[in-house]
C-alpha cells in the first residue's frame, strides 16, 4: 500500500510540472518510475497508481467540458491501464537474467517499452488519445531540438532514457558502484547536452505570409451558451476583423484566420451569415478562413470544416477535420453505451471524419502561392495529421481551435505547448487561433512570436516564414512510430505467453 501511495504522489508531482518550464521534473519522474517498477511484484498496481496521479489533473478539462466527472474518470482510468501494462511488462523484462547483468542496456529497453506504450495509447483504439505525452513536457528542455529528428515518440524515448540513466547512475553512486555510476551519469550528460548542437532553422525559404489571426472572444460566464444565440459568435469575429482592419488597413494582410466554430451558423447554409462574412472579407480585401459545421441532408451526421471565404465569390477551398474526437465529437457504440448512461446523448449528432487535402492554399498580395497545413483543435497533438499536410506542401501550420467548452481549465495552455512541439517537429511556423484563447504565433524553433491574452478580443498580425525543407522527423516519423508500437506489442505478447511457462518451470 505504501508503494502505491508513493506512486500516486509521484504522478501528481509530475503532473504539477508537466506543462511548465520545469522540464526536469517529468524527466526525474520517469526515472523514479524506472526504479519503482524494476523487478517489482505488483508493478501493474504501481504503474496504474502513478498514471492516475499523472493523468487525473492533466485530463481535468474534460470534466469542465462535460459538466460532470463521468468522462474525466473514465478517460483517466482507461489511459492509466496503458501505463499499468507497461509497468507490468517492464518488471517482467527487468527480472530476466540478461537485463540484470546488463543494467545499462536495460535502460534502453525501459525507454523503448515506455515510448512504445505511449505511442500505442496515442493511436489505438479509435485513433488514440495523444495527450500528456512525455515529449510535450520538454518545450523548455535542451532535448527539444531532437523533436525535429525523432518526432514526439522518439523524443519521449530519449526523455525516458535520460531519466532511467540518471536514476541508475544515482543509485549506483549511493551503492558505491562507481564505474557503473560514472558511465550512466556520463551517458545521461551526453544525452542532455548533445541535442543543443542541433540547429533549428527559422529563415523563410519561400517568402512570408502575412496573417491576421482573429480571436473573437465569446462573452458571458458560460461561453458555450453563446453558440445558441444566433450570430453572436460570428458577430464577435466580424468585430475582431474590423479591429484588425483598423490596425492594418484594407489589404494589409494576405489572409484573415478565424478559429474553429467561429461561425455559429455555417455561412454555406445561412445567407444572413454569408452576408456578414462576405462584407467583412470585402472590406479588409482579403480572404477569411471561417470555421463552420456542415450537417448532411438528414442531419444524421456533421463535418467540422475550415472554409476559405473569398468575398463575393463566397466559399472556396475547405479543410475538413480528419480526426474527430471520440466521445467528444461523436459517440462510438452509441446504442450499447446508452444502456449504461444517457450522457451519450449530450452529443446529438455524430461528427464524421473528413477526407481530402490536409492543406489550404492562398495567394499572397504579391501574387505568390502559400500553403498552410491544417490541424483543427485536438489534431495539434497528432504528428501524423500535420505530417500529412507538410508532405502535401504545407509551408506553415494553422491550428484553429474552439476552447469555449474548456474555459476555466488548463486545456488551452496545454494545446499551446503541443503547438510549440509541432513547430519543431515539422520545422514550420505555427499560427494557433482560438475563439477564447490562447491564440499565438510560433516560430519554427518552437519559440512564441506573439500571443493574445485569453478572454480578450484581439488580432495577431505576423509575417509567417514559409519553409520548404522536410525535417528528418517528417521523413522518418511514421517508421519510428510504427517500430516503437510494433515492438511494444510483440514484446508484450511474448511475455504474456511466456509468463505461464516460466512460472510452471519455476515450480
Residue pLDDT, tens place only, 413-429: 999 999 999 999 999 99
Q: Distance between CA 349 and CA 191 in Å, rounded? A: 49
Specify whether 164 is located in the same domain as 244. no
Pair 303, 425 in one domain: yes
The answer, yes or no, to whether residue 295 has pLDDT greater than 70, is: yes
Q: Which residues contact 305 (CB under 8 A, 6 or more apart)?
A: 266, 291, 292, 293, 294, 318, 319, 320, 321, 354
Residues 349 and 385 in one domain: yes
Q: Record the pTM.
A: 0.95
Whole-number pLDDT of residue 267: 97
pLDDT of residue 507: 52
Q: Under 8 Å CB-to-CB from 473, ≥6 apart: which residues?
A: 147, 148, 149, 150, 151, 154, 383, 425, 426, 480
pLDDT tens, residue by residue, 329-384? 999 999 898 888 888 888 889 999 999 999 999 999 999 999 999 999 999 999 99
Say if residues 87 and 32 touch (Cβ distance below 8 Å).
Answer: no
On whether both 389 and 426 belong to a single domain, the answer is yes
What is the per-residue pLDDT across 258-274, written as a single tens digit (0 to 9) for each?
A: 999 999 999 999 999 99
Same domain, 145 and 220: no
Q: Distance (Å, rounded) from C-alpha 166 to C-alpha 53?
A: 22
Domain count, the chain: 2
- Inform me whether the pLDDT recorded for 432 exceeds 60: yes
Residue 409: pLDDT over 80? yes
Residues 235 and 97 in one domain: no
Instruction: Tell me what percent of the chain is helix, strand and coil, each rounded to the nearest 5.
Output: 55, 15, 30
Inform me whether the pLDDT recorded for 499 exceeds 70.
no
Mean pLDDT of 491-505: 73
Do 264 and 370 share a domain, yes or no? yes
Q: Which phi and psi angles does 214 have, rounded to 5°?
A: -105, 115
Domain that holds residue 274: 208-468
pLDDT at 296: 86
Q: Cis (ω within 30 of 0) for the bond into 21?
A: no
Whether 221 has a pLDDT exceeding 80, the answer reads no
Of the candidates 399, 133, 407, 137, the one whose C-alpha atom is nearest the C-alpha of residue 260 is: 399
278 and 178 in a common domain: no
Answer whether the bond into residue 234 is a cis peptide, omega within 30°: no
Specify the pLDDT at position 67: 81
What pLDDT, on a 0 to 100 scale, did the predictor assign at position 219? 78
CA distance 316 to 320: 13
**120-134, 227-241, 369-383: range with lowest mean pLDDT:** 227-241
- Min mean pLDDT across 169-183, 214-228, 321-335, 411-425 is at 214-228
Q: Are 332 and 289 in a shared domain?
A: yes
Sequence-ordered alpha helix ranges (H) in 103-200: 103-121, 147-174, 178-193
Query: What pLDDT is stored for residue 61 in this prediction?
Result: 95
Q: What is the CATH number of the domain that holds 435?
A: 3.60.110.10
**Residue 371 bridge partners (DSSP):** 361
Same domain, 183 and 325: no
pLDDT at 447 over 80: yes
Residues 219 and 163 in one domain: no
The whole-number pLDDT of residue 505 equals: 58
Are the CB atoms for 50 and 3 separated by under 8 Å?
A: no
Query: What percent of the chain shows pLDDT beyond 90?
Result: 86
Q: Is the domain of 285 the same as that of 301?
A: yes
Give the model's pLDDT for residue 346.
Answer: 86
Phi first, then psi: what are they for 362, rounded to 5°? -130, 155
Amino acid at each position: 500500500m505504501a508503494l502505491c501511495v508513493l506512486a500516486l504522489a509521484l504522478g501528481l508531482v509530475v503532473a504539477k510540472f508537466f506543462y511548465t518550464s520545469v522540464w526536469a521534473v517529468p524527466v526525474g519522474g520517469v526515472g523514479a518510475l524506472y526504479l519503482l517498477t524494476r523487478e517489482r511484484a505488483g508493478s501493474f498496481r504501481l504503474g496504474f497508481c502513478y498514471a492516475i496521479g499523472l493523468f487525473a489533473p492533466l485530463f481535468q478539462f474534460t470534466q469542465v467540458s462535460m459538466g460532470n466527472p463521468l468522462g474525466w474518470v473514465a478517460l483517466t482510468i482507461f489511459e492509466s491501464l496503458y501505463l499499468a501494462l507497461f509497468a507490468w511488462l517492464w518488471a517482467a523484462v527487468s527480472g530476466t537474467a540478461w537485463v540484470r547483468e546488463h543494467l545499462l542496456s536495460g535502460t534502453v529497453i525501459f525507454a523503448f517499452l515506455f515510448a512504445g506504450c505511449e505511442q500505442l495509447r496515442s493511436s489505438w483504439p479509435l485513433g488514440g488519445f495523444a495527450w500528456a505525452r512525455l515529449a510535450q513536457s520538454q518545450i523548455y528542455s535542451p532535448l527539444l531540438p531532437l523533436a525535429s529528428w525523432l518526432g514526439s515518440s522518439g523524443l519521449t524515448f530519449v526523455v525516458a532514457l535520460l531519466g532511467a540513466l540518471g536514476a541508475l547512475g544515482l543509485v549506483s553512486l549511493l551503492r558505491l558502484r562507481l564505474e557503473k555510476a560514472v558511465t550512466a551519469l556520463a551517458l545521461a550528460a551526453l544525452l542532455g547536452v548533445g541535442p543543443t548542437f542541433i540547429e533549428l532553422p527559422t529563415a523563410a525559404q519561400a517568402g512570408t505570409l502575412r496573417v491576421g489571426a482573429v480571436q473573437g472572444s465569446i462573452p458571458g460566464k458560460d461561453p458555450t451558451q453563446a453558440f445558441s444565440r444566433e450570430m453572436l459568435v460570428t458577430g464577435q469575429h466580424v468585430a475582431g476583423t474590423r479591429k484588425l482592419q483598423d490596425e492594418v488597413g484594407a489589404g494589409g494582410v494576405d489572409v484573415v484566420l478565424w478559429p474553429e466554430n467561429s461561425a455559429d451558423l455555417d455561412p454555406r447554409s445561412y445567407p444572413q451569415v454569408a452576408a456578414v462574412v462576405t462584407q467583412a472579407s470585402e472590406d479588409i480585401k482579403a480572404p477569411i478562413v471561417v470555421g463552420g459545421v456542415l450537417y448532411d441532408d438528414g442531419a444524421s451526421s456533421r463535418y467540422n470544416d475550415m472554409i476559405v471565404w473569398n468575398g463575393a465569390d463566397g466559399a472556396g477551398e475547405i479543410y475538413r477535420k480528419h480526426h474527430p474526437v471520440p466521445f467528444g465529437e461523436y459517440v462510438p457504440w452509441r446504442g450499447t453505451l446508452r444502456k449504461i448512461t444517457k450522457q451519450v446523448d449530450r452529443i446529438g449528432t455524430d461528427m464524421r471524419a473528413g477526407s481530402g487535402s490536409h492543406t489550404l492554399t492562398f495567394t499572397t498580395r504579391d501574387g505568390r502561392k502559400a500553403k498552410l497545413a491544417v490541424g483543427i483543435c485536438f489534431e495539434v497533438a497528432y504528428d501524423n495529421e500535420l505530417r500529412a499536410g507538410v508532405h502535401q506542401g504545407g509551408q506553415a501550420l494553422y491550428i484553429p481551435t474552439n476552447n469555449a467548452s474548456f474555459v476555466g481549465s488548463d486545456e488551452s495552455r496545454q494545446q499551446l505547448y503541443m503547438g510549440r512541439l509541432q513547430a519543431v517537429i515539422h520545422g514550420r511556423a505555427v499560427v494557433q487561433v482560438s475563439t477564447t484563447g490562447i491564440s499565438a504565433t510560433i516560430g519554427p524553433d518552437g519559440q512564441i512570436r506573439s500571443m493574445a491574452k485569453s478572454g480578450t478580443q484581439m488580432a495577431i498580425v505576423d509575417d509567417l516564414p514559409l519553409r520548404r525543407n522536410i525535417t528528418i522527423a517528417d521523413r522518418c516519423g511514421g517508421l519510428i512510430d510504427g517500430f516503437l508500437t510494433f515492438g511494444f506489442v510483440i514484446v508484450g505478447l511474448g511475455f504474456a505467453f511466456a509468463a505461464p511457462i516460466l512460472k510452471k518451470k519455476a515450480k
